[in-house]
Chain A
């Protein structure tokens, strides 16, 4: 199958493969930076940067495989995840609620970074390149995207503010997407588009809920949300 031949061109030694690996590493660093940042502004900026690098990675794969719908996804990623969502978050949440600092981390900054390092190591141990069929993609990308998924999850767990949790979920989603474009670049376009649509709708609804909560409670930090404990 010609597609398999195309995947060969994404092996670790090719130029596209190297670029893909590099993007994945930068994305992982962004996830760490977000995990460690104390300012909301920076937190959102790191997410935006990560998304832009993700769109580059998508473009690299699109170029290597010559797939038009992947190009469309790269552009969509850039416009929506790289620009749209960070702007909307800043405009509707950070500015309106006058949020600057979020030091509310339930474990302490250094502890959460150390846990993050452990999770990254775990991702490498769990997804050994040997478990992956050889014909496919730069094999470093899969453990890297797993690590990004775990770091996004960690952000959701340790961060206390609802907005920080929202961004954590988006970082996680970026990890999934990175895995998706490399592992399964040939996903039917209708499915990819649907995933994207869901993401956008989810973010819009979440932003509405958060601003509604902030309006009602004058704070939307998750620990204050204990009205429903039985």
Chain B
């Protein structure tokens, strides 16, 4: 079991070694995809094992996998797999067009592998200090990806990203300190005072004031990574400037990793602070949905549109957690998975469109359906999925969350519903115009579809559709056990 758990982050990390053996773009891409697939396989095996035998821990809590970590590991591994297969096509196209030199291609492979490996590792530790270290390290690896193209705009986005998230994550470190401090009157060993199961078991005995400070700072700190408003300002820039598979990883994996940390902190704070934690999450959640929905109205860079949609969806997850109860947490987890797949597919599609139309401006793209049936079709369907229309998975999870709101007879559920409608209109109006209409006459736009690039798009869409009509029994159990692990 230890081997299996360790392999999940190590397999993608191994791909970071591929540049050392001197392979070129194709080899780099295949190495990344291999690492991703291996990680996904191991993550599934870990989830099954945890489901059978309960939480697993080793090395005095430095490795700790319960159902919640298994669920998030599975989600992130899935995204890593899709994005790494997408990287094969990305790297090959960049090499053919000679827009990136070999050094940049290798940096991409190293950055991607480190980013994926460190994120997966951060989900598998029970030590909140190590969690912080790994999340910060994955931020640094991803900053390399954002600044990869070394244009003024991408360097600017990378700078903004690294300075704002470093600031935010430092706040999360202060939160970790205060949490450690809140446990100082307990008879725990120093190491246990940072370890999740020990803290969770003694959650009602933690010192009230320190705990409150720790929780607030954790929501602000890790919330910066999640892109909760008003700490979201780095997010649209970084997502639009990064290479598309990296944007997919940022939006669908990194944000979820930050959310995972917030899940943990809320679970610790809930017994002592009670409804206070829910209120904090509701405030940040609704702020994010409002900001996301309002900025989506503007038509322009479509990668920015997708980024604002990520802010909105992270807001929805936060609101779901704020509504609380079994239904709310269930909705939050299900929505995390659905959004991860949907946004991953959308960003990979955006990469395809950027390559064909050579622009990120939505108003210059039209007739994608006619010019490139697969990319255009996926763009249209994935957009419908991401705004939450049936029969896709996000409909089900958003429905669950709204139900959780009504269940607590909260008037906020109406507000959520209204904002979802606004987001629906704002988002679909841009992407529908991109997919339909007269195609632009250009050779690139109508170039034949590469098979490798199509695989992750179609696989992701199939998964979204599947989750919309049927939640597999194993997944349902995993989510229910996850809820059990944090209540």
Contacts and interface: CB of A to CB of B under 8 A. Distances in A.
Interface of A: 1, 3, 131, 133, 136, 149, 153, 156, 162, 165-166, 169, 172-173, 176, 179-180, 183-184, 186-188, 190-191, 194-195, 197-198, 201-202, 205-206, 209-210, 212-213, 216-217, 225, 227-228, 230
Interface string B113-140: 0000000000000010110111011001
A230 B184 CA distance: 47
B140 A201 contact: yes
Interface in B240-296: 240-241
A77 to B, nearest CB: 16
B369 interface: no
Contacts of A209: 143, 147, 155, 158-159, 162
A182 B190 CA distance: 14
B152 A169 contact: no
Nearest to A208: B147
B157 interface: yes
Interface of B: 62, 127, 129-130, 132-134, 136-137, 140, 143-144, 147, 150-153, 155-160, 162-163, 166-167, 170, 173-174, 177, 180-181, 184-185, 187, 190-191, 194, 207, 209-210, 236-237, 240-241, 298, 300-301, 304
B389 to A, nearest CB: 27
Given A133-B184, A133-B207, A230-B298, A216 B166 contact: no
Contact of A206 (B133, B156, B162, B300): B162
A156 B153 contact: no
Contact of B129 (A1, A187, A205): A187
A190 B184 CA distance: 20
Contact of B163 (A169, A176, A191, A227): A169
B273 to A, nearest CB: 15
A202 B134 CA distance: 13
A220 B33 CA distance: 37
Given A180-B173, A213-B152, A228-B160, 14 more contacts: A133-B207, A179-B177, A188-B191, A194-B130, A195-B129, A195-B136, A197-B137, A205-B162, A206-B162, A209-B143, A209-B155, A212-B155, A228-B153, A228-B240
Contacts of A202: 136, 140, 162, 166
Nearest to B150: A212
Contact of B133 (A165, A172, A195, A227): A195
A136 B170 contact: no
Contacts of B153: 227-228
A195 B174 CA distance: 12
Given A198-B137, A205-B162, A230-B304, A217 B152 contact: yes
Contacts of B155: 209, 212-213, 216
Contacts of A195: 129, 132-133, 136, 173
Given A184-B181, A188-B127, A188-B194, A179 B174 contact: yes
B177 A225 contact: no
A147 to B, nearest CB: 13
A221 B257 CA distance: 32
A172 B167 contact: yes
A198 B133 contact: yes
Contacts of B300: 230
B134 to A, nearest CB: 8
Contacts, number: 121
Contact of A225 (B129, B143, B159, B181): B159
B187 to A, nearest CB: 8
Contacts of B137: 194, 197-198, 201
B159 A180 contact: no
A104 to B, nearest CB: 16
Contacts of B156: 213, 225, 227-228
Contact of B190 (A166, A188, A230): A188
Contacts of B167: 153, 156, 169, 172
A183 to B, nearest CB: 5
Contact of B184 (A136, A162, A173, A210): A136
Contacts of B237: 228
Contacts of A212: 147, 150, 155
A119 to B, nearest CB: 15
Contacts of B152: 213, 216-217, 227
Most buried by B among A180, A187, A197, A202: A202
Contacts of B157: 228
B221 to A, nearest CB: 11
A176 B177 CA distance: 9
A169 B301 CA distance: 31
25 contacts: A133-B207, A179-B174, A179-B177, A180-B173, A184-B177, A186-B190, A187-B180, A188-B190, A188-B194, A194-B130, A195-B132, A197-B137, A202-B162, A202-B166, A205-B140, A205-B144, A209-B143, A209-B158, A209-B159, A212-B147, A216-B151, A216-B155, A217-B152, A225-B159, A228-B241
Contacts of A216: 150-152, 155
A153 to B, nearest CB: 7
Contacts of B181: 183-184
B130 A187 contact: no
B129 A198 contact: no
A206 B163 contact: yes
Most buried by B among A1, A162, A172, A184: A184
Nearest to A180: B177
Contacts of B134: 194
Most buried by A among B62, B163, B181: B163
Contacts of B133: 191, 194-195, 197-198
A52 B298 CA distance: 50
Contacts of A210: 159
Contact of A198 (B127, B140, B236): B140
B186 to A, nearest CB: 11
Contacts of A188: 127, 129, 190-191, 194
Contacts of B180: 183-184, 187
A133 B185 CA distance: 8
A228 B62 CA distance: 40
Contacts of B209: 131
A206 B147 CA distance: 11
Given A194-B133, A195-B132, A213-B155, A176 B173 contact: yes
B163 A190 contact: no
A122 B136 CA distance: 28
Contacts of A133: 184-185, 207
